[in-house]
Amino acid sequence: MPTLYTNSGCRDLPGTREEEEEDADDYENMAPPYKDLPPKPGSLAPPRPPRAGRNPEPPSLPHKHLGISGLDLTPVTYTSQLGTGLEHPPFQPSQATPILDSLSPTPTLPTQATPVPWLSQKSGDLGCYQEERWMVFLCVLVVVSLLLACTGLAVTLIKYQEVVEELKMLSFQQRAWQANVTGITGLAGLKKDIDQVRADTNQSLVELRGLLDCPRITCPEGWLPFEGKCYYFSPNTKSWDEARKFCQENYSHLVIINSFSEQNFVAKAHRSPRVYWLGLSDKEHEGKWKWLDGSPVTLSYWEPAEPNNAHEEDCGSMNTGGTWNDLSCNKATYWICERKCSC
């Protein structure tokens, strides 16, 4: 089968289609270069190459009448070997066949058309197909990359929003915690003020009761008078808080020593190997000792190396010799109450 040719080129190669169309037109309008040449003696002119898209048909050889007389020749029809079948019976040579073979020219088969490289479309179409495949692959790759980038950006934004919300929640919790702490501190200060008011009220009641009792009796039974005051020395033991409560219930308070004479009176009055609670402590601030009325300690009768705050010793006491010592407030010992009585 002869090769088919077309005049169209690859649409993706710029300038190729126009050039091939011009070449095809020139080729169709142009006479073959060998047409102007005279044929060789005894040969047939070669046929024109077939157009693209048409099957070449082998030309039939003309009958040549030889000018030979005296011979009885039978005409013979030559059939091209390019046909698929023979319509006539095979050639039967006669006696004149050797003479015809020597005189008749050798039949020339049609020359196969020479393919023109720039008109071939097979290689061009294959290259265009490969280029289209690569373009499609690149487009798909770009689309997938954009989708992945958009997905990553969306995930990042979502995580950012979550982090922002979490920070807001933590900030809100921190402010709430600070408000709670501030509220607790305020409540603690309010409770302290209430306790102070209560202590002042009790002290005023003690003084008022002393003034009311003065016309009838100088000091209650079991109390010792000294410089316009009455002192009660307990016969049993209690903790520091329990002793303080007892004194308040009896319109008095734990003894507060404000002078040297009062110190000597209290130290000599009990004359027994007992330890008594004083109205002295450092519960509010460690190492800062104060009397129950809030006054600081102006006189000091501490035992050597005391107070040492050993075993949480926050309450003051008086030893047998009159010296002071710090003890644990939960320890049970004797106590001294003091109340004012002026008439």
pTM of this structure: 0.40
Residue 8: the pLDDT is: 44
| pLDDT, tens digit (0-9, with 9 covering 90-100), for 44-67 | 555 666 665 555 555 555 555 555
pLDDT confidence bin for 287, thresholds 50/70/90 = confident
Q: Which residues pair with 325 in a beta bridge?
A: 317
pLDDT confidence bin for 19, thresholds 50/70/90 = low
Residue 131: the pLDDT is: 85
DSSP 105: P
Q: Higher confidence at residue 176 or residue 33?
A: 176
Give the distance from CA 66 to its chain's centroid: 105
Q: How far apart are CA 44 and CA 78, in angstroms?
A: 14
Q: Higher confidence at residue 105 or residue 287?
A: 287
Percent of the chain past pLDDT 90, that is, above it, reads 18
Question: How are beta strands 290-291 and 334-340 bridged, if at all?
Answer: unpaired
pLDDT higher than threshold 50 for residue 4? no
Three-state secondary structure call for residue 288 = coil
Residue 90: the pLDDT is: 53
pLDDT higher than threshold 80 for residue 329? yes
Omega of the bond leading into 41 within 30 degrees of 0 (cis): no
Residue 321: the pLDDT is: 82
Residue 132: the pLDDT is: 86
- Look up residue 154 and give its two tokens: 């969306």
Averaged pLDDT for residues 126-130: 76
| pLDDT, tens digit (0-9, with 9 covering 90-100), for 204-245 | 776 676 566 555 557 888 888 888 889 999 999 999 999 999
Residue 6: the pLDDT is: 44
Averaged pLDDT for residues 85-109: 50
Q: Where on the phi/psi map is residue 222: left (φ > 0), alpha (ψ -120 to 50), or beta?
A: left
Burial 74-85 (b: 16+ CB within 10 A, else e): eeeeeeeeeeee
Percent of the chain past pLDDT 70, that is, above it, reads 56
Nearest to 315 by CA among 343, 338, 292: 292
pLDDT confidence bin for 188, thresholds 50/70/90 = confident
Q: Are 254 and 293 in contact (CB under 8 A)?
A: no
Q: What is the largest CA-CA distance in the chain?
A: 200
Q: Rounded mean pLDDT of the chain? A: 73
Question: Comparing 16-20, 252-256, 310-314, 334-338, which segment has the lowest mean pLDDT?
Answer: 16-20
Cα dist. 25→21, 30, 73, 119, 310 in Å? 6, 8, 48, 12, 123
Helix spans in the chain (H): 16-29, 97-103, 122-213, 240-249, 260-270
Averaged pLDDT for residues 76-96: 50
- Look up residue 315 and give its two tokens: 């309450």
Q: Give backbone dihedrals phi and psi of 58, rounded to 5 degrees, phi first.
A: -65, 135
Averaged pLDDT for residues 127-146: 87
Question: Comparing 194-198, 199-203, 280-284, which segment has the lowest mean pLDDT?
Answer: 199-203
